[in-house]
Amino acid sequence: MTCPLQNFNGAQIVEWGTWSWFSEPAILPVELKRELDQKFGSYPAEDHSKVGMAPPKYSGFHQRLLAAVAKKVEVVKWLLEKEPWDLFLVVFGECHPAGHYFWHFQDPDYVAHPESGGILRNALREVYVALDRAVGEILKEVDRHTTVLLVSGDGMGPNYSGSHILPALLERMGLFNQQKASGDDSTAVASSPRSRRDLLSTVRGMIPKRLRLAVSQAILPRSINERLSLHWKTAGMAWNRTRAFLIENANEGYIRINLKGREPEGIVEPGQEYNALCEDIYQTAQGLVNPANGLPAAHAVFKTDEIFPGPCRSHMPDIIINWNERAKVTTQLLVKKYGLMTTREPGHALPPYYTGNHRPNAFMAAIGPEVPRGMVIDGVHVLDIAPTILTHLGIDPPSYMDGKLVPELLGQQAPKAMADETARLA
């Protein structure tokens, strides 16, 4: 789930067997693509763009994910033997959609748990078992001189996201505005872009949703589907009266300021006005509660400028809300200053229909000639893994990497850079 590297001395297979895409599928070198297609064919499970607009047919999707794990193992074993390598990275993404779509079958406390899960009651566990088996098969292919890291970047839990209620909050705060219905001035709006959008929206609404989805998925390329989806999501926004808007996401709450000079029709001035607006939204989000139990709805709220000040900052939201799983938000949010916001449907009943959601818990297990057996290492962050791997391979980590080295994974023969880092941390 990444972009292909330029001038890379090796083989790259990106966006093949991933759940959601960051770029486009690419297999390099080209000869490898031909071999891969001939030997293994296509990846058997559909990606997010084919599932997220409607709930999957659970049983078939479950079987395709299991088949996908098995096929990926065969591809990995073939690649491991194909030519010499220094670093081999494989990502199994199948547990990601399994966690999103099968969580309610195995969690009896979840609001959407069916009385009888039938053959799917263990669907999530069966995907995990298949992945465990896959790791075992891969380990058989490497010798005792190979260092192996098994990494999970995050975890899963029940989906109690309140993101679907945030548009109502932004409207209540007077920050987000929809376009007024055309018709107040029949002579002026007849040829306006707004009236044409209204007409297109009306015509689109007359076509059954299932038919629209079937046509989109069967005929239109993914890139066009994405542009059309973005168009319809933003078609009703009155940008000249909108100071903040939601970046649609079923996991976290992403709020973006309509900033002048950054957004096409930005109205919020950079500097003092922007900072004051961020602070207002930040304080409001911290005060959100679920009125059903009085628990804080947000586990944490972040100003993006304070945690991601990198060169791609302008592509990101301005406020990030991590939802509190214990609050069990479904259809209501309450904040003292603005009152009660309510939606008709809970988050799991709206696209992309997730019953499972990301959680910030991760793990790493390691085995190798320099890794002490049985040691438990505390305080390691996911950002520490990349610089540690580079150091293991004799490459100095670039200065822009925030992570620190993990000495326990480098053994006694660690290079001087590791020793210097250890001394600095001490």
Check if the beta carbon of residue 156 is closer than 8 Å to that of residue 358. Answer: yes
Tell me which residue of 330, 335, 338 sits closest to 296, measured CA to CA: 335
Residue 3: the pLDDT is 86
Helix, strand, or coil here: 12?
Answer: strand
Distance separating alpha carbons of residues 390 and 409, to the nearest angstrom: 12
Tokens standing for 20?
């959601």
Check if the beta carbon of residue 289 is closer than 8 Å to that of residue 326. Answer: no
Cα dihedral 234→47→94→331 (10° resolution): 30
Distance separating alpha carbons of residues 44 and 51, to the nearest angstrom: 14
Residue 52: the pLDDT is 65
b/e 203-216 (16+ beta carbons within 10 angstroms → b):
eeeeeeeeeeeeeb
Beta pairing partners, 290: 295
> Tokens 């465990």 correspond to what residue?
132
b/e 345-376 (16+ beta carbons within 10 angstroms → b):
ebbbbeebbbbbbbbeeeebebebeebeeeee
Residue 296: the pLDDT is 98
Distance separating alpha carbons of residues 323 and 32, to the nearest angstrom: 43
Distance separating alpha carbons of residues 21 and 1, to the nearest angstrom: 6
Distance separating alpha carbons of residues 296 and 334, to the nearest angstrom: 10
Residue 222: the pLDDT is 62
b/e 307-340 (16+ beta carbons within 10 angstroms → b):
eeeeeeeeeebbbbbbbbeebbbbbbbbbeebee
Q: What is the pLDDT along the chain (426 residues), one digit of tens a residue?
A: 788 898 899 999 998 988 887 778 899 999 999 999 999 999 999 888 777 677 889 999 999 999 999 999 999 999 999 989 999 999 999 999 999 999 999 999 999 999 876 889 999 999 999 999 999 999 999 999 999 999 998 899 999 999 999 999 999 999 998 766 544 433 333 344 445 555 555 555 555 555 555 555 556 666 666 666 665 566 678 899 999 999 988 899 999 999 999 999 999 999 999 999 999 999 999 999 999 999 999 999 999 999 988 888 999 999 999 999 999 999 999 999 999 999 999 999 998 999 999 988 889 999 999 899 999 988 899 999 999 999 999 999 999 898 999 998 887 444 444 444 444 443
Hey, what amino acid is at 314? S
- Other CB atoms within 10 A of residue 341 CB: 21
